[in-house]
């Protein structure tokens, strides 16, 4: 029976470490999405100097370009917002056992600790699922922003080339 409790204790400890690692990994991914979005957002400018290359009859295309750039900026800002929401600190669950409580336990300490860890694993899994939702939304917004910015840049290039 003691071997079974020891195995359960070690396995629960492993699962807790894996759950914590998963949450940490999602935090790193959210930070990466936020960083990439912020850099792209800083790189985009609502106005552009290639306006001097646009023929007067193509002025409507220039405003289309500006609209696309503004849309890309909005999509990137949304990606940053989702990443920030995903990184927002969670409420700390107070499911841990204090040393005073552990000293008063007459039964196995491993069982008490294992039970506490199982609750913490459950809390971490719920937090991980919530972070995953924000990561997905942030990545989708980033992808949309990149696609719109690419289209706007290509459109601007063709307008500049055809204006010469």
- Comparing CA positions, the residue from 65, 30, 68 lying closest to residue 145 is 68
List per-residue pLDDT tens for the chain, 164 residues long: 567 777 888 888 898 899 999 999 999 999 999 999 998 888 876 555 555 566 667 677 777 778 888 899 999 999 999 999 999 887 756 556 666 565 566 566 777 778 888 888 888 898 999 999 999 999 999 999 999 988 877 766 666 666 54
User: Nearest 10 degrees: CA dihedral of 10, 13, 18, 24?
Assistant: -160
Distance CA 101, CA 126 (A): 26
User: Which residues have C-beta within 8 Å of that of residue 144, sequence separation ≥ 6?
Assistant: 75
Distance CA 44, CA 4 (A): 60
Model pLDDT, residue 138: 95
């Amino acid at each position: 029976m003691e071997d079974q409790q020891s195995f359960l204790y070690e396995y629960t400890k492993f699962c807790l470490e894996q759950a914590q690692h998963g949450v940490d990994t999602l935090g790193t991914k959210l930070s990466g999405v936020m960083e990439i979005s912020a850099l792209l957002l800083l790189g985009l400018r609502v106005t552009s100097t290639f306006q001097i290359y646009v023929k007067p009859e193509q002025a409507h295309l220039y405003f289309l370009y500006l609209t696309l750039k503004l849309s890309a900026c909005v999509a990137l800002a949304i990606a940053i917002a989702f990443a920030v929401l995903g990184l927002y600190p969670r409420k700390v669950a107070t499911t841990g056992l204090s040393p005073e409580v552990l000293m008063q336990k007459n039964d196995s300490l491993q069982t008490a600790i294992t039970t506490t860890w199982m609750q913490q694993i459950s809390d971490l899994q719920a937090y991980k699922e919530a972070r995953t939702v924000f990561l997905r939304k942030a990545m989708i917004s980033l992808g949309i922003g990149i696609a719109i910015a690419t289209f706007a840049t290509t459109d601007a290039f063709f307008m500049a080339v055809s204006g010469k």
